Chains A and B, each alone.
Chain A
């Protein structure tokens, strides 16, 4: 039996929880930074570009970013191992109405995660890669003009739609993932379990709406057609 060697089912889930919660923490910082994009145009440009400059030069942020890359990779690979094993162990029914006993998003974390991963490929290509390796124009204060890249990206309605859709995939992933992580790490006190569930729900709503509103806002206010 393959479970004799390697990690136990519980260890794999603990790893999912730890990497997932780190990514949850990262999302908060990411959202706070991005909220600068909602400022008036000139202010947003200066603020966002200088913020990006500070982040890219900071050694502490560099360390965090490596933990971030590692977390994404480990979270995905661990999920793959868990899913493949679950596919083998799971019973298959001719008629299956088991879904009535649980939430659809709790049963489809793998699909939601895959959607997020597809989104991340585009997200990294269009912003992360551009900033690190692309030749960006400079703004008035000599910072790389990431703001211009962001505004240019959100000119297409389908791209905005893709972003908003992906944020909803992320939202449902978080809605189950946040409190599921607390469960996997062993939070069993009923009072704090209900607190974590409420907090996790609020957190998921804020992250989803917060990230989804930015491309919509930029599309509506900065589109070339009406500017």
Chain B
């Protein structure tokens, strides 16, 4: 396959970026999108150019690092997929592919396709934990919980923090990410005890990081590699209103 690539190049956060054209021959349909990017970078290095920087880690679809906007869609044209799990067979020979970084006021670009998603870390640090000294591993059946409840909590906990929800949101809202973390802990007996305080501090941090409002378009759920449900957002809204009213 031969591809025409238009890739966002930006040398640092302060500078102006632009789309740069590249042509790439010998792309194999079985390659993952990241392997295609590796191939391009190999060519660039051999030519003495600076390779395109992008985030990646596990390449198994579970770490959430490889965020890219491909042809104007988060993680490319397939719903519920990470970039590393997107394969070149989804494209045709001679296609032009636009590659841009995830964009949001809260996600400043560091270089090329690499963005700073530490705003997510600070939201977690604001309350996405259980503040007890756990000591040794407790007896697994010490706290009774139903299978359904455990599964539901796990569905929320499956969020890998990739940022596709923010990237695909017209307002760059972090409602899906934040609500997944809040719901995951609120659904478990250990986390429930602090849920009132947690929701207030995590939402406060989310706002301070300059994420937008949630318009309930539900685009985030469509693009989320883990199919995190938008009902987590509803639960966060409920917990938040209740906690605001009951706050002493």
Contact = CB atoms under 8 A, between A and B. Distances in A.
Interface in B1-26: 6, 8, 19
Interface string A85-111: 110111111111110111100110100
A95 B71 contact: yes
Given A98-B170, A183-B237, A10 B212 contact: no
Given A1-B210, A106-B217, A107-B215, A90 B172 contact: yes
Contact of A180 (B71, B167, B216, B242): B216
A190 B231 contact: yes
Contacts of B169: 90
Interface in A5-35: 8-14
Given A90-B104, A101-B79, A186 B216 contact: no
Nearest to A105: B217
B8 A94 contact: yes
Contacts, number: 149
A117 B236 CA distance: 31
Contacts of B167: 91
A149 interface: no
A4 B208 CA distance: 7
Given A8-B204, A86-B213, A98 B237 contact: no
A102 B19 CA distance: 26
B223 to A, nearest CB: 6
Contacts of B107: 91
A14 B244 CA distance: 12
A176 B72 contact: no
A12 B240 CA distance: 12
A94 B19 contact: yes
A157 interface: no
B105 A91 contact: yes
Task: Identify whether the interface residues of B are mostly helix, strand, loop, or mixed.
Answer: mixed
B233 A183 contact: yes
How big is chain B's contact interface, by range?
Answer: 35 or more
Interface residues of A, number: 43
A192 to B, nearest CB: 10
A46 interface: no
Contacts of B238: 185-188
A4 B210 CA distance: 11
A53 interface: no
B244 A11 contact: yes
B100 A94 contact: yes
Nearest to A180: B216
A97 B72 contact: yes
Contacts of A8: 203-204, 207, 240
Contact of B168 (A101, A103, A193): A101
Interface of A: 1, 3-4, 8-14, 82, 85-86, 88-98, 100-103, 106-107, 109, 176, 179-180, 182-188, 190, 193
Given A95-B6, A102-B219, 20 more contacts: A8-B204, A10-B237, A10-B241, A11-B244, A12-B213, A14-B241, A89-B210, A90-B169, A92-B103, A94-B19, A95-B72, A98-B168, A98-B219, A102-B217, A106-B217, A180-B215, A180-B216, A186-B236, A186-B241, A186-B242
